[in-house]
Amino acid sequence: MTDAVADRLIVGLDLAHVADAEKVVKELDGVAHFYKVGYRLAYNGGLEFARDLVRDGKSVFLDLKLLDIDNTVAEGVENIAKMGFRMLTLHAYPKAMRAAVAAAKGSDLTLLGVTVLTSMDAEDLKEAGYQDDPQTLVLRRARQALDAGMGGIVCAATEAAAVRQIVGADMAVVTPGIRPAGADQGDQKRVMTPRDALVAGASHLVVARPIIAAPDRRAAAQAILADMASA
Which residue among 7, 65, 124, 196 is the active-site one? 65
Strand (E) or helix (H) holding 172: strand 172-175
Q: Which of 39, 12, 41 is nearest to 28 (CA)?
A: 12
Instruction: Give residue 177's pLDDT.
Output: 83
Q: What residue type is assigned to position 24 of the chain? A: V
* pLDDT at 186 exceeding the cut of 60: no
108 is catalytic: no
Is there a binding annotation on residue 70? Answer: yes
Q: Residue 47 and residue 62: Cα distance in Å, rounded?
A: 9
- Say if residue 189 carries a ligand binding annotation: no
- CB of 150 closer than 8 Å to CB of 97: yes
pLDDT at 183: 57
Over residues 206-225, the mean pLDDT reads 95
Contact predicate 60/33, CB 8 Å: no
User: Residue range 148-163: average pLDDT?
Assistant: 94
Catalytic residue among 7, 23, 52, 68: 68
Phi and psi torsions of 189, nearest 5° = -115, -20
User: From the CA atom positions of the chain, what is the Rg in Å?
Assistant: 17
Domains and CATH numbers, the chain: 3-229 (3.20.20.70)
Q: How confident is the model at residue 184 (pLDDT cuts 50, 70, 90)?
A: low
Kind of pairing between the strands at 204-207 and 9-12: parallel
Average pLDDT, the chain: 92
14 is in an annotated binding site: yes
Told to judge if 132 belongs to the known catalytic residues of this protein, a careful annotator would answer no
140 pLDDT higher than 80: yes
Task: Please say if 20 is a catalytic residue.
Answer: no
Distance CA 164, CA 173 (A): 7
Asked whether the CA dihedral 64, 227, 57, 174 is positive or negative, the reply is negative
How far is Cα 86 from Cα 109, in angstroms, rounded to an integer?
5
According to the annotation, is 56 in a ligand binding site?
no
DSSP, residue by residue, 41-66: HIIIIIHHHHHHHHHTT-EEEEEEEE
Nearest to 79 by CA among 56, 62, 96: 62
58 annotated as belonging to a binding site for a ligand = no
Residue count of the chain: 231
Q: Has 7 been labeled as part of a binding site?
A: no
- In angstroms, rounded to a whole number, what is the distance separating the alpha carbons of residues 29 and 7? 13
Residue 174 bridge partners (DSSP): 154, 204
Question: Taking 70 as the threshold, does the pLDDT of residue 2 lie above it?
Answer: no
The verdict on pTM exceeding 0.85 is yes
